[in-house]
Structure 1
Amino acid sequence: MYHYKLQVLILSQDNCIYDAVSAIEPLTGFEHELFLKQSADAAVKTADVIICELPEAVLADVVKNSKKDAAVIFCAAADTLDSRDEIYSQALADIWIKPYSKSFVTFKLRKLFEQIKITKDRNLAQGYIETAINSIPSLIWFKDIRGAHLKVNDSFCRAVGKTKEDIEGRGHYYIWDMKKEEYEQGEYICLESEEIVLQEKKTCIFDEKVKTKHGMRQFKTYKSPIFDDNEQLIGTVGIAHDVTDLENMGAELEVILRNLPFAVLLTNEAGKIINANDFCAQYFAAGKEAIIGQEYLQWKQQNLANMSEINAKGYADARVIVGKREKNLEIYEKPIFDVFGTAVGMLCMCRDVTVERHLEKKIIYSANTDQLTDLYNRRYFYEYMTRNKIMSRHVNLFYIDLDNFKKINDEYGHQVGDTALVMVAKLLKQTFSGDFLARIGGDEFLVVVLGEKTDAELAAMAETFLNGLQQSIVSNDKFSVLSASVGIAVSDVLTDIDLLIRQSDAALYEAKRNGKKQYKIYHK
């Protein structure tokens, strides 16, 4: 969205600093412009980052002449810092104690550049919010949990006849020029509706009468709770549409549809689309004008052909191609009834849930998978074994434990040990392609092979894996001591999962006791 040239002024003869800055890759949206000077000059007034290794008097001038948000870094030996405490505490972004390495400078500057980007991104996001809310004719406000107004838009200011500076931080009675007694005697419900939203912890819609600078007005108000990162309630946001002058419900409906952040369609009792909002053009090839007048069922066949079945709550999923990207949509259908309970139409809402679905998949994947080996974990092993009636089928369980794995960790470190685990996981995927694989401990693995197998077939699988492991370690001296032992257990119908694990573990123990690098099949 933005591109920024980050000016870095180096007031030092230390080439280490210049080399470090030159080697840092600019962050997204940034480019670096370096100035290497022996003394302070006009560049001080425009630089974003100033790295200074000059006498105290010059440093004071640099701080004084630099722009307001510049990050000034002072480089000095430790024994020269005592007399500059006041300057350091008030004006400097950082102090680098000499001597320092290029890696130190690189680390410090990268962190500083990241912080500058965070500030730029935050200011841009703030600009987005300000532009968006001030472009909307409806009244918008944000309140903290005590009811103080934190932010309002221009429409809100016009309604109350006050500036943002006068409004922000103040409460309801002051802003609307009302006395508490007047509020209690009128038909106002503004404060009560705030309490309802805080109690319900969800978006609520109200019809509210408000005394404004332009007289009494009727608002259709949408109020929603705001939560912090810890899901704690910290305030509310409100959007009020002035519906005082609307001549009919159709006009009021247009206001609502226009401000909803997702696609909405309305049909009549004959199934023909009679209204839609402009958001439809973001999801479908045809915009609002082309959609209105179509038969709803025909429109669905053309635009939502892969839509899933509508569930009991009226929701379904669908995929659409927008430009060259695929989006996941959540479809909501609900019949519309008149005051006599007769169906007079259908409401269809389409919401983009692409990011939500992606995050759900990532969360499920992280919960079920071992991050290092990309195999399933112990938790998902039990879930897999208990679903789809796995234990009612013939199950062959391979319990694999690496021999002498601790020696590799002790001698070469855990990074080499991790490499060995990844190698074993890759070999398991090749050997047991299509079977269920899990890492259940440090160097312990489980393989679930479904279907009735003879001892000879199970032995062949185990030998293929063991031979493959020996071939894999030949090219790496660090893995020369590594081998594996395998215990195999075969289930009867409805054998308990933990019993099957104990049986395979007993076979594994026998393989270990007989010299390792081998397999054993459990027999009762």
Structure 2
Amino acid sequence: MYHVQLHFWVRGIDEKIVRIWQEAEPLERFTHLFHNFSRSMRLPNGRNQIVLLGDVATLQIPMLRQDIGTKGKLILCADSVQDLPGEELAYFDAIWPRAHLEETAAFHFHRLQQLLKEEKDAWLTQTYLEQTINTLPDMVWYKDIKGLHLHVNDAFCTAVNKRKSDVEGKDHYYIWGIPREVYESSDYVCVETEEDVLKARKTCLYDEEVMSAQGLRKLKTYKTPIFDEDSQDIIGTVGIARDITREKEYRSTIQRLTREDQLTSLLNREYFYDILKKNNSQAYTLLSFDIEGFHGFNERYGHPLGDAVLQIVAEELRSAFTTNHAARLGGDEFAVFLPDDLSDETAEASVKAFQELLSFMLSMDDRMKHLRVNAGIVHALPGMTPEQAIHDGGMALDRAKKVGGGACCFSRETATA
């Protein structure tokens, strides 16, 4: 990917030696340029600047190092450094013995080339890593064996609302702002899963929760041990966490929409059928309801008020029958599944209690006070299909409608007003 032009700045070195260096073959992706320089010159700054000195007289070594920067290379060719102040020696990256330098020039130069290539490759690898992890929307972190964060990506900093300099070198409790005693008394499992990874010595997947700057977040987290190059001892871990909070919320919303009636939030017809089908191996009670005169009410007062009536009915169904299995089958038709096969008296009493409570609620509005809800009761036997149970409920409800005024009828008996 990269191409590097190295600039070699030479001063006080025998021309034969310089020629050996000039004739050396550059490594792949590298080219060489050689320059002589005087003490009055200001050299460029950067990793690609290499200064080779055989004569340091009259040179300001600290100034020279400042010119090429910490990433440039400053090399002294000398047999003795006694004439150099000790503090100036620290500015040099290497000292090549000048005696027999002609014989070892190619060796030293090749080693220098290899070093420069390794540094460039390391820079490229680091760049790859940084660009990759900071582009990801997922949180990425690296920890040492003690659990201290060595490095994190931008998404991690966003989640904890801290800068990298505030995160790196810190533990889990500090970063997430959770006192250790609070953590230990909560359901958080981040630290414990780190220990599991160390024991498993392989990548592990976890569902975790953390309190982030955006509130409580649900995470799908991969944690992988990092092994030492030689001993294969675990020296740390790398973690990648995907925030699935919204995904779970969306999934919950989709699930709710597929099973609920949008207007009343009761179960819809399809999901109610599924409930009856799952329970058809047992006896149960099915209650059917419809609103007497609802069609005329809608025509007279309009659909917005009609929708309000349907919502009131739904709310009272939820209050009267806490089974959570109340449904709107369509229009003004409602049904309730009761998992027990109630006696006639109990079933009828529960229906009457609901009808009376609903009538009281509707009576608060003069436009609604004349509305009544008729009911049908079915004792479903084991093996009865949902279609058959709903049909029997409809037949009972039809007979109740003929009586009217908030009647209740069993599927096998005459209606009672």
TM-score band w.r.t. shorter chain: 0.5 to 0.7
CA distance in 1, matches of 2:215, 2:26: 55
Counterpart AA for 2:51: I
Change (3 A) 1:187 1:38: closer
Residue 6 of structure 1, CA deviation: 0.6
SS of the equivalent of 2:162 reads coil
Report if aligned partners of 1:141, 1:151 keep a CA contact under 8 Å in 2: yes
Question: What letter matches 1:131 in structure 2?
Answer: Q
Give the TM-score, by structure 2 length: 0.56
- Note if contact 2:142-2:151 (Cα within 8 Å) is conserved in structure 1: yes
Instruction: Give, as a single letter, the amino acid of the residue that structure 2 aligns with 1:245.
Output: R
Q: Report what 2:23 is aligned to.
A: 23
Secondary structure of the equivalent of 2:58?
helix
User: Runs of 4 or more off by more than 6 Å in structure 1?
Assistant: none
1:248 alignment partner in structure 2: 251
Say whether the 8 Å CA contact 1:40–1:62 is kept in structure 2. Answer: no
Corresponding residue for 2:161? 161
1:100 and 2:79 are equivalent in the alignment = no
| Structure ID, larger Rg | 2
Alpha-carbon distance, 1:215 to partner: 0.7
What's the offset of the Cα at 1:91? 0.7
User: Cα 1:100–1:221, aligned 2, differ >3 Å: closer, same or farther?
Assistant: same
- List gaps (5 residues or longer) in structure 1: 252-524
Number of aligned pairs? 249
Q: In the alignment, residue 65 of structure 1 is paired with which amino acid?
A: D
Question: Within the alignment, does 1:48 sit opposite 2:29 as a pair?
Answer: no
Spell out, residue by residue over 1:166-204, the C-alpha distance to the aligned partner (whole angstroms, 9 max, x if none). Answer: 000000010000111221222111111111001111111
Would you say the 8 A contact 1:44–1:62 is kept in 2? no
Q: Does 1:236 align with 2:248?
A: no
Aligned to 1:188: 188
Native 8 Å contact 1:11 1:40 kept in 2: no
| Alpha-carbon distance between aligned partners in 1 of 2:58 and 2:203, rounded to the nearest angstrom | 59
1:3 maps to 3
Q: Deviations over 1:200-248 (max 9, x none)?
A: 1111111111111111111111111110112110111111111111133
Structure-2 separation of matches of 1:139 and 1:64: 38
Counterpart position of 2:209? 209
Distance of 1:39 and 1:100 partners within structure 2? 26
Partner of 2:77: 75
Q: What residue is the counterpart of 1:174 in the other structure? A: 174
Equivalent position of 1:57 in the other structure: 58
Distance, in Å, in 2 between the alignment partners of 1:9 and 1:30 is 16
What TM-score, normalized by structure 1, do the two folds share? 0.45
- After superposing the two structures, state which structure 1 stretch, 201-210 or 98-107, moved more: 98-107
Aligned CA distance change for structure 1 residues 131 and 44 (closer, same or farther; 3 Å): closer
The aligned residue for residue 436 of structure 1 is none
Equivalent residue runs for 1:43-442 within 5 Å: 43=43, 45=45, 48-58=49-59, 60=61, 61-78=63-80, 81-87=81-87, 89-230=89-230, 231-246=232-247, 247-248=250-251
Rounded to whole Å, the distance in 2 between the matches of 1:196 and 1:169 is 22
Shift of 1:120: 1.0
Amino acid at match of 1:24: A
Cα–Cα, structure 1 residues 185 and 98, in superposed 2: closer, same or farther, change >3 Å? closer
SS in 2 for 1:9: strand
Quote the offset at 1:88 in angstroms: 5.2
* Inter-partner Cα distance in structure 1 for 2:219 and 2:105: 58
Structure 1 Cα separation of the partners of residues 189 and 97 of structure 2: 62
Root-mean-square deviation (Å): 2.2
> Per-residue deviation at 1:39?
4.8
Distance 1:133 1:55, change over 3 A: closer
Greater mean deviation of Cα atoms: 138-147 or 67-76: 67-76
Question: 1:32 aligns to what?
Answer: 32
Q: Specify whether residues 195 and 13 from structure 1 end up closer, same or farther in structure 2 by C-alpha distance, changes over 3 A only.
A: closer
Distance in 2 (alpha carbons) for counterparts of 1:206 and 1:44: 51
Offset, 1:18:
1.6
In the TM superposition, residue 52 of structure 1 has moved relative to its aligned partner by 1.3
Distance 1:44 1:12, change over 3 A: farther
Work out the percentage of aligned pairs sharing the same amino acid.
35
Using CA pairs under 8 Å that are at least 6 residues apart, name the structure with larger relative contact order, 1 or 2: 2
Structure 1 residue 31: deviation in Å?
A: 0.7
- The one-letter amino acid paired with 2:238 is V
Aligned letter for 2:25? Answer: E
Offset of 1:40 from its aligned partner?
5.3
Alpha-carbon distance, 1:59 to partner: 5.2
Distance 1:181 1:18, change over 3 A: same
Structure 2: distance between partners of 1:13 and 1:153:
47
Q: Distance in 2 between matches of 1:4 and 1:91?
A: 24
